[in-house]
Amino acid sequence: MASRTFPSPVPDPDTEAFWQAAKDGTLMIGSCRNCGEKHYYPRSVCPHCGSGDVTLVASSGTGEIYSWSVLRRADPPYAIAYVTLDDGPTMMTNIVDCDLDTLAIGQRVELVFSPTEDEDGPPVPTFRPAAP
């Protein structure tokens, strides 16, 4: 089955460390030293308490599908999803390496980075059905 080509994200000063970690194979999420809450996408200020004392922490890379939809009109069709990480935040992603007709809310998934179209572009965090 053909898979879609992922456009490369463009790192900026706010997100450079996140994308460097992605190149190293780790999904990072935002974490606040003040309130202790996690957030996604990562940013320079905590969206929960407003503190600037934020850092990145590694995610376990496991979670479950919060919602999904297969864009049947795309060529090739692909599955967009929100995945709720076991670490807390819910993030936008694609479900890859899967049967597009068997996706379900609540389904367990695991992180797999997918390469992007630019040679130097960082990979993006996608998910596949978890091994049983």
Partner 1 sequence: MSINGKAYVAGVYEHPTRRAVDKSLAQLHAESALGALADAGLGKDDIDGYFCAGDAPGLGALSMADYLGLRLRHIDTTECGGSSYILHVGHAAEAIALGKCSVALITLAGRPRAEGMATGTAPRNYGSTSPDVAFEFPFGPTVVNMYAMCANRHMYEYGTTSEQLAWIKVAASHHAQHNPDAVLKNVVTVEEVVNSPMISDPLHRLDCCVISDGGGAIIVTSPEVARSLDRPLVRVRGAGEAPKHQMGGTIDLTYSGARWSGATAFEEAGVKPADMKYVSIYDSFTITVLMQLEDLGFCEKGQGGRLVSDGNLISGVGALPFNTDGGGLCNNHPANRGGLTKVVEAVRQLRGEAHPAVQVANCDLALAHGTGGSLGTRHGAATVILERE
The two tokens of residue 115 are: 């390469």
Total number of residues binding partner 1 (CB under 8 A)?
A: 47
The DSSP line for 26-75 is: --EEEEETTT--EESS--SS-TTT--S-EEEEE---EEEEEEEEEETTSS
Q: How far is the CB of 130 from partner 1 (least distance, A)?
A: 19
**Site for partner 1 (CB under 8 A): which residue of 27, 28, 31, 46?**
46
Q: How far is the CB of 60 from partner 1 (least distance, A)?
A: 15
Interatomic CA distance for residues 2 and 6, integer angstroms: 13
Q: Are 71 and 77 in contact (CB under 8 A)?
A: yes
**Site for partner 1 (CB under 8 A): which residue of 17, 21, 26, 37?**
37
Check binding of 40 to partner 1 (CB under 8 A): yes
**Which residues lie near partner 1 (CB under 8 A)?**
4, 6-12, 14-15, 19, 29-30, 37-41, 43, 46-48, 66-74, 78, 80-82, 88-94, 105-106, 116, 124, 126
